[in-house]
Amino acid sequence: MCGIVGYIGEQQAAPVLLDGLAKLEYRGYDSAGIAVYNGHEIEMVKSVGRLKVLSELTHDGTTLVGKSGIGHTRWATHGSPSNDNAHPHYNKDGSIVVVHNGIIENYMKIRKMLQNKGYEFNSDTDTEVVAHLLDYYYTGSPLSTIIKVLQRIEGSYALGIMFKEFPEQVFAVRKDSPLIVGHTKDGNILASDVPAVLKYTRSVYFIENYEIVCLEKDKMTFYNIDEDELEKEPTTIEWDVAAAEKGGYEHYMLKEMYEQPKAVKDTIYPSDSRIVDGRVVIKELSMSDEDIKNIKKIYIVACGSAYHAGVTGKYVIEGLTRIPVEVDLASEFRYRSPIYEDNSIVIIISQSGETADSLAALRDAREHGVRVLGIVNVVGSSIAREADSVMYTWAGPEIAVATTKAYSAQLIALYLLGMNFAQVRNTITEDKMSSLIKDLAKLPDQIEMLLASKEKVQRFANRYIAAQNVFFIGRGIDYAISLEASLKLKEISYIHSEAYAAGELKHGTISLIEEGTLVSAVLTQEHLYKKTISNMVEVRSRGAFVLAVTTEGNTEVEKAADYVIYIPQTNEYFTNSLAIIPLQLFGYYVAVGKGCDVDKPRNLAKSVTVE
Ligand code: M6R
């Protein structure tokens, strides 16, 4: 989604803004713009397309001279990508400029009101109403003007604002869209996401809903909506700069796939290890044994790949603990008036911790008095802060839009949770627990081994760059793996693909199979091998080319497949962590072969902060 950056200090602002926006490119955007106070007025440059264009237009920022400014990358929601719709937006004489991430939901009503009062609009965006409203309510005091505007606008927003009359100040405020600020060595910076500021500071302040911050060259002041000053504590970001850079890899996605062994290891054994003396210990759960024994139902709620991790979580947690688990898409859950059973808990899974639908689901659960556990990657994100407790996945910064390492870390968090609950509820023997812990410990090396055979997958993928349709089938956990494998392929290669529960094909979808259609079958659950093999035979006899991903030793599958990829032996609950690796590589190499923009697929954003 959109990215915002702001700077005020001793340096020239434009290069800092361009650099910050470049670090937010991964969020997805289709136009960009910056505004800088040049000593007389606020000067703006905007462009459609990649940031490169904006850098060229401003000679890497050198033609915009001034030490305070705001910048924006826009992911179009209201109005097509165009110069007029690109941010910053401004009032009639350009003395107030605004950048915005989020959606102003009541913008139509405000726009009409302002038009009736003679305001003219230059864009189709929801954001432009904020610039004109600031003008309309302008009192001479930026703070009180901003507060008046906040009382009129509805929706989600992180706003960066400059007033020509107050060139020594840059303002920012947020509601339901992320916003951070930090001191640099010679000024102050604001952004919608951590990577934009990492080069300048590791100590950041997370702005809460309806908090307003005023950045000056040498200080930052925080206010609440009553204009009272607030004391805030900074949070230290542990990620290092290199973790958010490409480090010699062709794409972030490839680098992040290669970071999976570490992400998995760090999630099992963070500094406060989650395995202690043969037991799974998750201190941050802050639930007593009694609380865990009393759980009657678990709802897992998430979007996209995080939802797919949740589908695996259902099989694992139900299998280990016999607690019923319902998995829901957050966008559905939030509007279906879920029936919360007594003694239930909600688990929200999210890499970014900012996904709008997941956040809304969290709030719904909490409003109903249900305990919420967040499984989150980004430290200090909204979901992490609003959940009753948070179990971090230690995958480090994930930049590629297509998630890989964060997904792998989410799986681990869910395994650990299932094991912990099983141990407390006595639904697992000591022998079984120690064998699970041993198998868990082997996963990082096994993933590394699978990554090492990437050339084999690449050769196979090269044959499918012209594919029109691909199907992924499996049963149980293998179905969950198929869901994720299918999303990986389609989101970056633009090849239509679908995941199907293998037994469901013959209820309609099998009619799509024709000569040469690629069907990828996942077989890692021994008790289901025979059933899925029958489904492979069914599609193969209708002309499909069958790729099988299965566990070493299951050579029986060869008679029903055209190509087989073996994964190492592991516990039946952990197979997703291994089987997904060649399938991620497959999606990646098909997309690379087609020349797609792998890290920034069209129409997609890394962090979906609007519903
Ligand atoms: O940040 P989140 O984990 O909440 O994001 C959820 C989905 O938007 C995300 O997993 C998306 O599906 C990815 N592009 C998949 O690769």
The domain segmentation of the chain, as residue ranges, is 3-237, 244-452, 455-594
Which residue has a Cα nearest atom 8 of ligand 1? Answer: 304
Task: Tell me the best of 300, 303, 486, 580 to mutate to test the pocket of ligand 1, counting ligand atoms within 8 Å of each CB and taking the most.
Answer: 303
Q: Are 399 and 244 in contact (CB under 8 A)?
A: yes
Q: Are 261 and 447 in contact (CB under 8 A)?
A: yes
Residue pLDDT, tens place only, 47-69: 998 899 999 999 999 999 999 99
Note the pLDDT of residue 29: 81
Structural domain 244-452, CATH architecture: 3-Layer(aba) Sandwich (3.40)
Give yes or no for residue 352 CB within 6 A of ligand 1: yes
Give the whole-angstrom CA distance, residue 7 versus residue 215: 8
Tell me if domain 244-452 and domain 455-594 are identical in fold: yes
- From the CA of 357, how far away is ligand 1's center (Å)? 11
Give yes or no for residue 305 CB within 6 A of ligand 1: yes
From the list 99, 46, 37, 92, the residue with the least C-alpha distance to 69 is 37
Note the pLDDT of residue 242: 64
Q: Which atom of ligand 1 is nearest to the CA of 401?
A: 14
Give yes or no for residue 351 CB within 6 A of ligand 1: yes
Distances (CA, A) of 225 to 51, 135, 148, 149, 222: 35, 19, 9, 11, 10
For CA atoms 116, 122, 128, 133, the dihedral sign is negative
The amino acid that residue 50 corresponds to is R
Give the whole-angstrom CA distance, residue 172 versus residue 176: 13
Q: Are 130 and 143 in contact (CB under 8 A)?
A: no
Give the whole-angstrom CA distance, residue 29 versus residue 87: 12
Q: Are 324 and 347 in contact (CB under 8 A)?
A: no
Active site residues: 2, 606
Give yes or no for residue 1 CB within 6 A of ligand 1: no
Q: From 3.60.20.10, 1.20.140.10, 3.10.310.10, 1.25.40.10, which CATH number describes the 3-237 domain?
A: 3.60.20.10
The DSSP bridge pattern shows strands 371-376 and 389-392 to be parallel
The DSSP bridge pattern shows strands 563-567 and 545-551 to be parallel
Q: Alpha helix locations (H) across 494-598?
A: 529-540, 575-593
Regions in the chain scoring below 50 on pLDDT: none
Note the pLDDT of residue 1: 67
Note the pLDDT of residue 240: 65
Query: What is the CATH superfamily name and number for domain 455-594?
Result: Glucose-6-phosphate isomerase like protein; domain 1 (3.40.50.10490)
Q: Which atom of ligand 1 is nearest to the CA of 403?
A: 16
Give yes or no for residue 303 CB within 6 A of ligand 1: yes
Note the pLDDT of residue 95: 97
Note the pLDDT of residue 494: 96
| Helix (H) or strand (E) run with residue 433 in it | helix 430-452
Give yes or no for residue 402 CB within 6 A of ligand 1: yes
Give the single-character DSSP code of 349: E
Note the pLDDT of residue 79: 82
Task: Tell me the best of 193, 351, 411 to mutate to test the pocket of ligand 1, counting ligand atoms within 8 Å of each CB and taking the most.
Answer: 351
Q: Which atom of ligand 1 is nearest to the CA of 488?
A: 16
Note the pLDDT of residue 318: 98
Give the whole-angstrom CA distance, residue 190 versus residue 452: 40
Give the whole-angstrom CA distance, residue 153 versus residue 104: 6
